[in-house]
Amino acid sequence: MCKIYFPQYKKGKEGIPLHRGLTILEHLRELDLQINSECGGKGTCGRCRVRIGKGKENLGKLTEAEKKFLLPSEERLACQARIIKDVKDMKVLIKEFGKYEILKTVTERKIALSPSVYQKEKKVFHNNELLDNYRGKIYGLAIDVGTTTLVFDLVNLENGNVLATIAKTNPQISYGNDVISRIAYTMVNTEKNEYFLVEERGIRLMELQKTLINGINESLKEIENRRGETICPFIYEVVVVGNSTMRNIFLGIDVSSLGIKPFESLQKEAVTKKAKEVGLKINSEAVVYGAPLIGGQAGADILANILASGMYESKEISMVIDIGTNGEIVLGNSRRLISASAAAGGAFEGTTISSGLGAIQGAVKDIIIKDGKIIYHTIGDIYPKGICGSGLIDLLAELLKHNIMSKNAKIKEDFYVIDGVKLTQTDIYQLITAKAGFRTDQNLLLKYYGIEAKDLEKVYLSGGFGNFINATNAMKIGLLPEIEEKRVVKFGNGALEGAREMLISRKSREKAEEIVKRIEHMKPNEKEKDFDYIIAENMYFK
């Protein structure tokens, strides 16, 4: 039997047997290898391009979906290229291959150490439950599961020190780049255009969970190898945060209700499981705590942001914004908190944009136009492959500033940053649609609260995207509320910091569970009769 090899990946160098009838994407999934597939394998996004080094005679003909992308002769879409023969070994190279620049840093607050796991009389307890004999170490994990990224801290629970931080791409990206794709993977048989039966839904949910958990298990082994010490048996507790879909998949909780009206999780409250139930290869008696959800896709991650910002105990009114594939917003203070989640889509993360990229090496991350010249920098300081979100924001602001783009978001022709890297009119439409939805939710939350943007004491920007963007340019294009720039606070990965606080402090965890009960989750698209009109008004520039 012939094999298929993916030499860019350590696990792919040995190859696996070819399976007739399966696509290249399905072979990648068998190995748990990452590839961008924002559409979840439907052949519409074109991001899973691969170059066939050898063995293309094993593949079926180009599909109609592939023909639309005018691919070079040696390229195919991994989700469409199906193995129909077994006559020669294959070597497949992933085109969009590179490490994401993921925000690791957090603004750590001083929190009194009082973890749920502790040592007493040479025994390890979790809230009075005996877990193990004390063997010299008590560790915990704080995990932020993003739709695109996965970040976690290994923490010494005896002194609160962070021993290691891991940041990587969420390995579920090969199932789609947004929560809708992941939910649909568990629910819908796209070939037959029908819903899966309950049993098949469960199998697919476990597949997504396993992909994610395997990524964490592998990373823990990397930490052990790097530190030269045994770690996993000494991890006794895990705190996990994420949007509603990501938290539930991590814990193996059905996500189908998040894909149909009213788009709510069946289980919003905090969830506690044993690590062995979710597949984590740590101490067999370790406890996994999934922080509670707010509503819709406003999940445990934005709750963790509220905790880390301290806005919930301030008299001044502030806003926390976490911009990602899903945009989440919270507005308020110690007296009242309201929230909304916006389907920001993947435009500002590079998807649906002709030269768009995630924050990987070679992505243009900032741009200015000076004296008619385009000045830019790329991640990794290498030749540009495309433009990531922060660069797209800068580019829109610069085109507007120099009247290359009108206030109605029109350009006369494609704008080239460099040969092969451009912004088209269609790209601009995708970007202004994404920013309009996000800005609309901000404006409506301010309206519901009875204040204006100028009344905000602070706007906290959380997450990688929020911390890498130029806030002034984001205001110019209407992605952020217009306030004094000194009031914009970039406070790192607030979700991870909130998870860390819940891990090392029972009091912080109790606070989070109290806070979530008093947050009013708004759904502006249901509340406003003219919501689509309001969106349209926010698409263009002032």
Other beta carbons within 10 Å of 500: 31
For residue range 434-463, what is the model confidence (pLDDT) as tens digits?
899 889 999 999 999 999 999 999 999 987
- Domain stops at, among 267, 283, 298: 298
pLDDT level of residue 428 (50, 70, 90 thresholds)? very high
- 416 and 276 in a single domain? The answer is no
Question: What CATH code is carried by the domain that includes residue 9?
Answer: 3.10.20.30
The CA distance from 527 to 304, in Å, is 26
In a domain, 203, yes or no: yes
In a domain, 458, yes or no: no
In a domain, 487, yes or no: no
pLDDT level of residue 106 (50, 70, 90 thresholds)? low
**Amino acid letter for position 390:** S
Higher pLDDT, 239 or 47: 239
For residue 2, give the 3-state DSSP assignment: coil
The CA distance from 485 to 391, in Å, is 19
Strand-pairing partners, residue 241, are: 144
In a domain, 151, yes or no: yes
- 175 and 83 in a single domain? The answer is no
- Average confidence (pLDDT) over 125-137: 96
- Asked whether 405 and 399 are in contact (CB, 8 A), the reply is yes
Confidence at residue 265, expressed as pLDDT on a 0 to 100 scale: 95
Confidence at residue 2, expressed as pLDDT on a 0 to 100 scale: 93
- 37 and 136 in a single domain? The answer is no
Lowest mean pLDDT among 7-11, 274-278, 378-382, 487-491: 7-11
Confidence at residue 107, expressed as pLDDT on a 0 to 100 scale: 64
Confidence at residue 100, expressed as pLDDT on a 0 to 100 scale: 55
In a domain, 493, yes or no: no
Lowest mean pLDDT among 244-258, 358-372, 504-518: 358-372
- 80 and 140 in a single domain? The answer is no
Highest mean pLDDT among 49-53, 259-263, 360-364: 259-263
- Average confidence (pLDDT) over 347-363: 79
Confidence at residue 101, expressed as pLDDT on a 0 to 100 scale: 56
Question: To 5 degrees, how large is the angle CA 147–CA 485–CA 369?
Answer: 80
pLDDT level of residue 474 (50, 70, 90 thresholds)? very high
pLDDT level of residue 302 (50, 70, 90 thresholds)? very high
Provide the CB-side half-sphere exposure for 369 (13 A, CA).
17
Our count of domains for the chain comes to 3
- 225 and 292 in a single domain? The answer is yes
Residue 148 has pLDDT above 90, yes or no: no
Residue 357 has pLDDT above 90, yes or no: no
pLDDT level of residue 115 (50, 70, 90 thresholds)? very high
- 188 and 233 in a single domain? The answer is yes
Q: How confident is the prediction for the chain on average, in pLDDT?
A: 91
Confidence at residue 479, expressed as pLDDT on a 0 to 100 scale: 92
For residue 144, give the 3-state DSSP assignment: strand
Q: Which domain holds residue 18?
A: 3-94
- 149 and 73 in a single domain? The answer is no
- Average confidence (pLDDT) over 370-374: 94
pLDDT level of residue 53 (50, 70, 90 thresholds)? confident
Parallel, antiparallel, or unpaired for β 162-169 and 188-189?
unpaired
Q: Which two tokens stand for residue 34?
A: 């990452």
Confidence at residue 46, expressed as pLDDT on a 0 to 100 scale: 82
Question: What CATH code is carried by the domain that includes residue 144?
Answer: 3.30.420.480
H-run or E-run covering 377: strand 373-378
- 70 and 125 in a single domain? The answer is no
Residue 103 has pLDDT above 60, yes or no: no
- Average confidence (pLDDT) over 334-341: 96
- Asked whether 461 and 488 are in contact (CB, 8 A), the reply is yes
- 277 and 177 in a single domain? The answer is yes
Residue 486 has pLDDT above 90, yes or no: yes
Q: What is the DSSP string of 334-375?
A: SS-EEEEEE---SGGGTTTSTTB--SBTTEEEEEEEETTEEE
Smallest CA-to-CA distance from 139 within 61, 46, 225, 236 is with: 236
Question: To 5 degrees, how large is the angle CA 489–CA 494–CA 498?
Answer: 135
- Asked whether 503 and 512 are in contact (CB, 8 A), the reply is no
- Domain stops at, among 390, 423, 456: 423
- Asked whether 177 and 38 are in contact (CB, 8 A), the reply is yes
Beta strands in 12-112 (DSSP E): 16-17, 49-54, 75-77, 90-94
Confidence at residue 193, expressed as pLDDT on a 0 to 100 scale: 87
Confidence at residue 44, expressed as pLDDT on a 0 to 100 scale: 85
Residue 213 has pLDDT above 90, yes or no: yes
In a domain, 428, yes or no: no
- 89 and 130 in a single domain? The answer is no
In a domain, 469, yes or no: no
3 contact partners, CB below 8 Å, separation of at least 6: 15, 16, 17, 18, 89, 90
- Domain stops at, among 423, 439, 463: 423
In a domain, 49, yes or no: yes
- 146 and 228 in a single domain? The answer is yes
- Average confidence (pLDDT) over 251-272: 94
Q: Which two tokens stand for residue 5?
A: 């090899």
Other beta carbons within 10 Å of 298: 26
- 289 and 158 in a single domain? The answer is yes
